[in-house]
Structure 1
Amino acid sequence: MPRRTIVSFHAHPDDETLLTGGTLARAAAEGHRVVLVTATLGEAGLADSAASPGSRSSLGPRSSLGSRRHAELLAAAAALGCARVETLGYADSGLDASAAVSCFADASVDEAAARLAAILVDEKADVLTGYDANGGYGHPDHLQVHRVARAAAALTGTRLLEATVDRSSLRTVLAVLRLAGRFLPSLPFGDSSRVFTAREDITHVVDVRDFARQKRAAMRAHVSQSEGGSGVRTLGLLSSLPGPLFRAVCGREWFTDPAGDPDAAATWVLAPQ
C-alpha cells in the first residue's frame, strides 16, 4: 500500500483522541504519516484542579491551563504515533464564544484556512480531516473547524473527510456510561436530533478495536480533562472502562465525505462502510 499523509485538524487538545484517536493510531501503525493540527490550546475549558497546578475546579488561569493542555496534547500525539504536531495559536472561544476578545470562532475563515493550507502543501497531504456541519455538538470552535477545513481543502485540492459520531451510537454510548454506575455530567448536546450525524449520512466507519490501547493511552494523557466542573467527565469515564467494554464503546470512528462519493475514497485506512 502506498504511504499516505493525513492531516487531522481539531479545535482543542483531546478532540483529536475522542473523535479520531483510533484512526490516527491505525494509520500510523500501517506506515502512513500522521500530522495533527489544533486551532487552540483549550485554555477556556474546564480542568481537574488536582491535575492542573494553579487551576481552579472550573476555569483555571488560561495561560497555565493552556500550557498544561499543550503538554498533554504532545503526550497524546506520541501515544497515537503522530509524526508532527502544530498549533495555530488561536484563543479558545469557550462554549458561548465569549471566552476571549479575539477567539477562534471569530477569526477570519480565509486567514485560518490559508494557514492550514500552508501545512497541507508543506506535507503534500493526501487527506485532511475536519468536523461535520453540526460541529459535532455545536461548540463554536468545532463549527469553525468545519468551515476552515472545507476552505483549506478547497484551496489545496486535498481530499476532505469530516470526523463525526453516529448519532444512534452516541445514544448507546451514553446509556453504557450511565449503566457503569458513575456520575455522568450534563453534556452540551442540545437536541439529540441535531448533533453529530445521522447513520444514513455517514460514509466511512473505521474499525479501531485493535488500537484501543493507543486510544486509551492518549485519553489518559489528557489528565487535566478527566475531571472538572461538576465531577468526573466523559473522557475520564471512557478511559476508565474495562478493556472489553472500552473496545466495544470506543472501537468505531465515523466520517462523512462532503463530496458524496465514497467510491473515490483514499486507498488507505478509511475504507467506505
Structure 2
Amino acid sequence: MGTLLCFHAHPDDEAIATGGSMARAHAEGHRVVLVVATDGAHGEVPDDLGSDESLADRRRSETAVSAAALGIDRVEFLGFTDSGMNGWDANDHDGSFWQADTDEAAVRLAAILLDEQVDVLTIYDWHGGYGHPDHIKVHRVGVRAAELVAERMPTMRVLEATMNRDEMRRGIEMAKEMGADDFGPTDDHGEEFDPDAPMDDGNPMGTPESELTLGIDVSPFVERKRAAIAAHRSQVSDQSFFLQMPTELFAQAFGREWFIEHDREADGSGPRLGWMFD
C-alpha cells in the first residue's frame, strides 16, 4: 500500500478536484493525506457565523467533515491566508499565500512529504485550472517541494490535477440534451458557463484533452465526493448546481478526474484511463 498526498489551495477544493481519487485510494487501503495551503478566509460568509467564530474556523471544521466523508487520514493547513480572487487587494496582503516566498512554503510542504514518505503527490496545472492566484501558487510550491525531496524520495510521482476542457464542453451539451439547463453552472454574470472563455488569468478553463495523460474512474465514489462537497456548507448551498444536479448528470460530470503526470509525456492522443498507483 502507498500514501497519497493531495495539496490544495482552499478548504473545499479537495472535494471538487480530487475527492473521488482520495475516496478510492482510501477504499483500496492506501493512506490519504490532505494539505491545504490557506485558511479560506475570503470565501462566502454564512449568515449563521457566530460572533466568536471566524470564517476560517468554520471552514476548518467543514474540512474535517469532508475528510471523514472521503476517508482522509491526516489533514494539515500550511498556515497561509487566503489571497482572494485575481486582482483583489488581498493578493498583496502580508501573510497571503500569493505573497509567500515559494521556497519557504515549499519547505513546509516538503517536511510533510518526508514525514509521510509520500508515493503520489497531486498539485494543480500551471495556471491552477482557472487562474486563481492561490491555485497557481499551489502548482509552483508543489513543484518546488518535489524538487526539494527528489534525492530522498526519488520514486514519488507528481500529478497535476486539472479539468478536461473538452469533456466539460461535451458535458454541457449532454446536459442540454437531457433538458437539464437549469442545473448547469453559470459565470459571474449569470450567463451560461463557457469553458473556452477567458477565466481569471485570461486563459480558458482547465487543460485540452490532448495535453492530459491520465483519467481516473471514480464513479463508484461520486456519492462520497458529493457528500464531501456538501460538507462545505458555508460555501455550497442546497441550491448550488453541485447539489441540485440529478444523480445521473452529477455522475457523468464528476465520475472521472483528470491529471497531467510528470513522469509521462502527452502524445496528443488524449489521456489513458488508469490509476495513480498503477
Question: TM > 0.5 between the two?
Answer: yes
For residue 198 of structure 2, what is the aligned residue in structure 1?
191
Q: Give the TM-score normalised by structure 1.
A: 0.84
Kindly tell me: are residues 185 and 46 of structure 1, through their superposed partners in 2, closer, same or farther at Cα, counting changes over 3 Å?
Answer: farther
Decide which moves more: 93-102 or 6-15: 93-102
Structure 1 unpaired stretches of 5+:
56-60, 263-267
1:138 aligned residue (131, 134, 140): 131
2:25 aligned residue (17, 27, 36): 27
For residue 153 of structure 2, what is the aligned residue in structure 1?
none
For residue 126 of structure 1, what is the aligned residue in structure 2?
119
CA contact (8 A) 1:97 1:103 kept: no
Q: Give the TM-score normalised by structure 2.
A: 0.82
Whole-angstrom CA distance in 1 between matches of 2:67 and 2:140: 24
Letter in 2 for 1:53: L
1:53 aligned residue (49, 64, 71): 49
For residue 179 of structure 1, what is the aligned residue in structure 2?
180
For residue 73 of structure 1, what is the aligned residue in structure 2?
63
Secondary structure, counterpart of 1:136 in structure 2: coil
Letter in 2 for 1:254: W
Please state how far the C-alpha of 1:11 moved relative to its aligned partner.
0.1
Decide which moves more: 171-180 or 253-262: 171-180
1:244 aligned residue (240, 245, 248): 248
Deviation string, structure 1 residues 133-171 (Cα, Å, up to 9, x no partner)? 111100000000000000011111232100001011223
Letter in 2 for 1:269: W
Secondary structure, counterpart of 2:248 in structure 1: helix
Residue pairs, 1:80-119, within 5 angstroms: 80-95=70-85, 96-99=87-90, 100-119=93-112
- Superposed CA RMSD: 2.6
Letter in 2 for 1:191: P
Structure 2 unpaired stretches of 5+:
151-155, 267-273
**Percentage of matched positions with identical amino acids:** 45
Structure with higher helix content: 1
Secondary structure, counterpart of 2:84 in structure 1: coil
Is 2:248 the counterpart of 1:257?
A: no
For residue 213 of structure 1, what is the aligned residue in structure 2?
223
For residue 158 of structure 2, what is the aligned residue in structure 1?
160
For residue 265 of structure 1, what is the aligned residue in structure 2?
none
Letter in 2 for 1:210: P
CA contact (8 A) 2:168 2:253 kept: no
Whole-angstrom CA distance in 1 between matches of 2:185 and 2:125: 25
Letter in 2 for 1:160: V
Whole-angstrom CA distance in 1 between matches of 2:100 and 2:112: 18
Kindly tell me: are residues 163 and 131 of structure 1, through their superposed partners in 2, closer, same or farther at Cα, counting changes over 3 Å?
Answer: same
CA contact (8 A) 1:135 1:146 kept: yes
Deviation string, structure 1 residues 161-188 (Cα, Å, up to 9, x no partner)? 0000101122344553893425844259
